[in-house]
Amino acid sequence: MREMMAAVRLHAAGDLRLDRIPVPEPGLGEVLVKVWRSGICGTDLHIAKGNFPAPNLPLTLGHEFSGVIAATGEDTDPLAQGDNVVVDINIACGRCYFCRRGQKLFCPHVAQLGVHRAGGLAEYVVVPAGNVYVLPESLSLDDAAYVEPLACAIHGQDRIGIRSGDRVLIIGGGPMGLAHIALAKLGGAATVIVSEPDASRRELAGAMGADVLVNPFETPLEEALAELTEGIGPDVVIEAVGSIPTYEAAVAVVRRGGRVLAYGAAPQTATMSLRPFDIYSKELTIVGSYAGTYDTWPRAIDLLAEGRFTPSIIVDSIRPLAEAVEAIRGLETDKSTVKVHIQMP
Ligand SMILES: [Zn+2]
Ligand SMILES: [Zn+2]
């Protein structure tokens, strides 16, 4: 009989279960990873609620994980059993228009682990060898579970291109907003202003290096910024919430000639009001950022390995796999934790 394992699987929109299923076997060019830690992310809640197309049900969730190679299939050199690893979740065809232009996120066949095919909210996961990064000794498996979200944030920062001396506003002190604070500081921002209504998250934003903390429910953002930037507005605004009012605020408060990063995932069909005249007359640059892949992964690994980024400020709750379903459901209402990591048995 095959060995069994626990896995958090979505059976239908709203129907998330902790199942017992057989441990998968690695095929040609694949390795089996024994998961160590797996992060829970807002995207998991979107998938679980059915807001995100999940075509292959039942689907094992989990796209932020670290682990150890437990077995290798054929043709997986130089990977070896016992290697500590993380896995770029973005698997693409490598042959289409987008793949050949280094934009595999837009590949029509792209499949993300934990989104389109079995991910790492399970004791084991099978992954393609080409997506695996072996960790340096200085990076723990605990911290390595943060590589995926950090790679995404790095991609966002690449897209918006913070310059030395920029004044940066980050809207939202959630798990991704907090990551952007540290990266903006590393990237040379002169001032990082964070707008966040929750007091405990504002405190974490301070711990991540934010220079000015604004409670937008107390002082309207525009008013606060007028004072902080001599009525000019920030050079860069990073929207890291995904709500329509905050997106509208981002465009409204950025300075003339400024740049807005659309980082927060808004509901797929939501629309916002945007005056083309503002884009035109303010010469705005609005850029999107969807996910991190390619070199953002080794760069995230290096930042963590060199101690330039401290995920433990953001990862404020570590729970067992048995509580993963509850932790995902809790994302909707419970704002007392920022980021949950699931520790595998
Ligand atoms: Zn995520
Ligand atoms: Zn492709």
pLDDT in tens, 14-72: 999 999 999 999 999 999 999 999 999 999 999 999 888 777 899 999 999 999 999 99
Active-site residue, selected from the candidate residues 11, 46, 60, 271 = 46
pLDDT at 258: 98
pLDDT at 1: 64
pTM, rounded to two decimals: 0.96
Of 170, 180, 152, 199, the residue nearest 300 (C-alpha): 152
Active-site residue, selected from the candidate residues 11, 43, 60, 285 = 43
Of 41, 23, 40, 45, the residue nearest 32 (C-alpha): 23
In angstroms, what is the span from residue 169 Cα to ligand 1's centroid? 22
Instruction: Tell me which residues have their CB within 5 A of the ion that is ligand 2.
Output: 92-93, 96, 99, 107
In angstroms, what is the span from residue 241 Cα to ligand 2's centroid? 30
**For residue 11, is pLDDT > 80?**
yes
Print burial letters for 236-273: b (CB count within 10 Å at least 16), e (below 16). Answer: bbbbbbbbeebbebbbbbbbeebbbbbbbbbeeeeeee
The widest CA-to-CA distance across the chain, in whole angstroms, is 70
pLDDT at 333: 86
Q: What is the C-alpha separation between 141 and 175, in angstroms, rounded?
A: 19
**For residue 332, is pLDDT > 90?**
no
The average pLDDT across 98-107 equals 97
pLDDT at 336: 82
In angstroms, what is the span from residue 142 Cα to ligand 1's centroid? 16
Q: What is the C-alpha separation between 91 and 109, in angstroms, rounded?
A: 8
In angstroms, what is the span from residue 12 Cα to ligand 1's centroid? 20
Does 43 participate in catalysis according to the annotation?
yes
Residue type, 250: A
For the segment 234-278, what is each residue's pLDDT rounded down to a tens digit?
Answer: 999 999 999 999 999 999 999 999 999 999 999 889 999 999 999
3-class DSSP state of 54: coil
Of 69, 73, 115, 68, the residue nearest 91 (C-alpha): 115
